[in-house]
Amino acid sequence: MTSQLSVMLLVFVVALLPGLASRRMERSDMLTLVAVPIVMFPLAVLPGIIIWGLNKDSATYLLGMAIVVIVAVLNYRFQPKKRAAGQAEQVANASTVDSAMRES
Amino acid sequence: MTAILERNETPTPLPRPPSIVGDFRQWLLERGVLAVLIGTPIVAIIGGIFYRVMPYPFLLCAVLAAFVILPIWTTWRRRVSTNPAEPAHHLNRYALWALPAAAMFSVVRIPLHFMIGIIYWHPWYDFGNALTNTPLDSQSTLLVGGLLNLIQGWAMGLGFYILFKRFSLMNVLCYIAVWISALYSYDFAAYSRVGLQSPPYWHASMAWAHFGMAITLWFMPNVVAKRFWPRFGMPGRVGVIAVGALIVLIPSVFAQWRAVTWQFPKEAAIDNAAFARANLALVPGSTTLVSTTTDTRYSFTLRMGPRDYHNWFKQQRSLDAHGIEVTGQLSRNGQIIAWCNASVADLPSANFVTLPEKFAPVMKAVTYTNIPVTCQGPQATGQATTGSSRIDVNWTARMTLVGGQEVRDRTFTGQQSSVQLNGS
* Same-domain pairing of B178 and B260: yes
DSSP string, B116-185: H---TTHHHHHHHHHHH-PPTT-HHHHHHHHHHHHHHHHHHHHHHHHH-S---HHHHIIIIIIIIHHHHH
One digit per residue, the tens of pLDDT, for chain B of length 424 reads 444 444 444 445 555 666 888 888 999 999 999 999 999 999 998 888 888 888 888 998 999 999 999 999 999 999 999 999 999 999 999 999 999 999 999 999 999 999 999 999 999 999 999 889 888 889 999 999 999 999 999 999 999 999 999 999 999 999 999 999 999 999 999 998 999 999 999 999 999 999 999 999 999 999 999 999 999 999 999 999 999 999 999 999 999 999 999 999 999 999 999 999 999 999 999 999 998 888 899 999 999 999 999 999 999 999 999 999 999 999 988 899 999 999 999 999 999 998 998 999 999 999 999 999 999 998 776 666 655 578 999 999 999 999 999 999 999 999 999 888 887 5
State the distance between the two ends of chain B, measured CA to CA, in whole angstroms: 110
Interface contact B166-A37, CB threshold 8 A: no
Q: What are the angstrom distances between the C-alpha of B183 and each of A65, B92, B176, B307? A: 9, 28, 10, 34
B394 φ/ψ angles, rounded to the nearest 5 degrees: -135, 150
User: Could you give the CA distance from residue B234 to residue B240 in angstroms, rounded to a whole number?
Assistant: 10
Number of domains forming the structure of chain B = 2
Q: How many CB pairs under 8 A join A and B?
A: 163
Domain C-terminal end among B273, B291, B324 = B273
Within a domain: residue B7? no
Give the model's pLDDT for residue B207.
97
B292, B325 Cβ separation under 8 angstroms: no
Residue A92 has pLDDT above 60, yes or no: no
What are the structural domain ranges in chain A? 22-86
A89 contact residues in B (CB cutoff 8 A): 166
Give the model's pLDDT for residue A83.
53
Give the model's pLDDT for residue A87.
53
* Same-domain pairing of B139 and B163: yes
How open is the CA angle B222-A83-B171, to the nearest 5 degrees?
A: 40
* Chain centre distance of CA B358: 15
Which of B27, B163, B170 is the closest to A25 by Cβ?
A: B170
Within a domain: residue B269? yes
User: Could you give the CA distance from residue B16 to residue B3 in angstroms, rounded to a whole number?
Assistant: 20
* Same-domain pairing of B323 and B205: no
B350, B367 Cβ separation under 8 angstroms: no
User: Could you give the CA distance from residue B210 to residue B213 in angstroms, rounded to a whole number?
Assistant: 5
Within a domain: residue B2? no
Three-state DSSP class for B376?
Answer: strand
B85, A86 Cβ separation under 8 angstroms: no
Interface contact B177-A4, CB threshold 8 A: no
* Chain centre distance of CA B61: 20
B409, B398 Cβ separation under 8 angstroms: yes
* Same-domain pairing of B269 and B282: no
| Strands, E assignment, B196-334 | 279-282, 288-292, 296-305, 308-310, 316-318, 320-332
For A8, which residue in chain B has the nearest alpha carbon? B204
Provide ipTM, 2 decimals: 0.85
B44, B59 Cβ separation under 8 angstroms: yes
A30, A85 Cβ separation under 8 angstroms: no
Cβ neighbours for B147, distance < 8 A, ≥ 6 positions apart:
B252
Within a domain: residue B94? yes
A42 contact residues in B (CB cutoff 8 A): none
Query: Residues A42-70: what's their mean pLDDT?
Result: 94
Within a domain: residue B288? yes
Name the nearest CA neighbour of B233 among A93, A53, A103, A79: A103
* Same-domain pairing of B231 and B248: yes
Domain C-terminal end among B211, B241, B273 = B273
Could you list the residue range(s) of the whole structural domain that residue B309 is in?
A: 278-420
Name the nearest CA neighbour of B160 among B101, B231, B78, B116: B101
In angstroms, the separation between the Cα of residue B236 and the nearest Cα of chain A is 12
| B231 close contact with A: CB closer than 8 A | no
* Same-domain pairing of B289 and B235: no
Domain C-terminal end among B244, B273, B302 = B273
User: Could you give the CA distance from residue A86 to residue A94 in angstroms, rounded to a whole number?
Assistant: 13
How open is the CA angle B216-B69-A97, to the nearest 5 degrees?
A: 35
* Same-domain pairing of B127 and B197: yes
Give the model's pLDDT for residue A98.
47
How open is the CA angle B17-B83-B75, to the nearest 5 degrees?
A: 125
Three-state DSSP class for A47?
Answer: helix
Q: What are the angstrom distances between the C-alpha of B126 and each of B48, B132, B136, B365? A: 11, 10, 7, 25
Give the model's pLDDT for residue B10.
43
User: Could you give the CA distance from residue B303 to residue B296 in angstroms, rounded to a whole number?
Assistant: 24
Query: Which residues are registered as beta bridge partners of B110?
Result: none
Which of B165, B169, B226 is the closest to A90 by Cβ?
A: B165
Q: Is the dihedral of CA A67, A72, A73, A74 positive or negative?
A: positive
Name the nearest CA neighbour of B303 among B287, B290, B317: B287
Taking only residues 72 to 91 of chain B, the set having a beta carbon closer than 8 angstroms to any beta carbon of chain A reads 84-85, 90
User: How would you label B297-322 residue by residue, b for 16+ Cβ within 10 Å and e otherwise?
Assistant: bbbbbbebbebbbebbbebbbbbbbe
B226 contact residues in A (CB cutoff 8 A): 96-97, 100
Cβ neighbours for A5, distance < 8 A, ≥ 6 positions apart:
A56, A59, A60, A63
* Same-domain pairing of B319 and B219: no
* Same-domain pairing of B283 and B256: no
Name the nearest CA neighbour of B176 among B63, B50, B42, B30: B42
Three-state DSSP class for B237?
Answer: helix
Interface contact B190-A57, CB threshold 8 A: yes
* Same-domain pairing of B352 and B298: yes
* Same-domain pairing of B205 and B321: no
* Same-domain pairing of B331 and B249: no
Question: Using CB atoms within 10 A of its CB, is residue B20 exposed (0-12), middle (13-18) or buried (19+)?
Answer: exposed
Cβ neighbours for B327, distance < 8 A, ≥ 6 positions apart:
B339, B340, B341, B395, B396, B397
User: Could you give the CA distance from residue B184 to residue B42 in angstroms, rounded to a whole number?
Assistant: 12
User: Could you give the CA distance from residue A58 to residue B190 in angstroms, rounded to a whole number?
Assistant: 8
